[in-house]
């Protein structure tokens, strides 16, 4: 039986026509909560977008595979950046599906909770510390995902 993550992967890759494997896709899903934190005040400022671009580059370098061609790291970095931009604009279409798949994914991958929580705080701190809106979104997402915020100390 396919997991919620498997189903989301199939649906998303088909809808977006992107060439990423499941492991590469799971990082997109793991970062959606951080992207939602970035959107909490309604705008993505320069510092926040710089953080998104840096993370895209790190992920592109870390998870590039040979099937992406000679410029595989750059290609994957561009895919990540493009998908993060798309998700910022298409939040309503994908948010609930991503949250449900991620919550289900945590049942077998408990350590991913730490990564999700850390990246939410990283993005929240990207510009001028954590705002009240960002803090509220982090709290809401932690509740929805079953993450204990106290783990971030």
Helix and strand numbers, DSSP H then E, in the chain: 7, 0
Q: Taking a C-beta distance cutoff of 8 angstroms, is the pair 72, 62 a contact?
A: no
Helix, strand, coil shares, percent, the chain, to 5: 80, 0, 20
Q: What is the full per-residue pLDDT of the chain (153 aa) written as tens digits?
A: 789 999 999 999 999 999 899 999 999 999 999 999 988 888 788 888 888 898 888 888 887 777 777 687 888 889 999 999 999 999 999 999 999 999 999 999 999 999 999 999 998 888 778 889 999 999 999 999 999 876 444
Sequence-distant (≥ 6) Cβ neighbours of residue 72 within 8 angstroms: 64, 65, 66
pLDDT attached to residue 27: 92
């Amino acid at each position: 039986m396919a997991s919620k993550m498997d189903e989301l992967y199939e649906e998303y890759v088909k809808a977006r026509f992107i060439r990423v494997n499941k492991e590469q896709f799971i990082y997109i899903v793991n970062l959606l909560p951080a992207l939602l934190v970035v959107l909490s005040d309604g705008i993505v400022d320069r510092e926040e977008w710089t953080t998104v671009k840096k993370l895209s580059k790190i992920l592109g370098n870390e998870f590039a595979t040979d099937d992406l061609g000679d410029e595989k790291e750059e290609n994957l970095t561009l895919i990540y950046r493009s998908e993060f931009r798309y998700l910022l604009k298409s939040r309503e279409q994908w948010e609930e599906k991503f949250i449900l798949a991620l919550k289900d994914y945590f049942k077998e991958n408990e350590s991913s909770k730490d990564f999700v929580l850390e990246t939410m705080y990283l993005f929240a701190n990207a510009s001028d510390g954590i705002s009240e809106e960002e803090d509220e979104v982090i709290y809401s997402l932690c509740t929805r995902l079953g993450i204990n915020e106290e783990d971030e100390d």
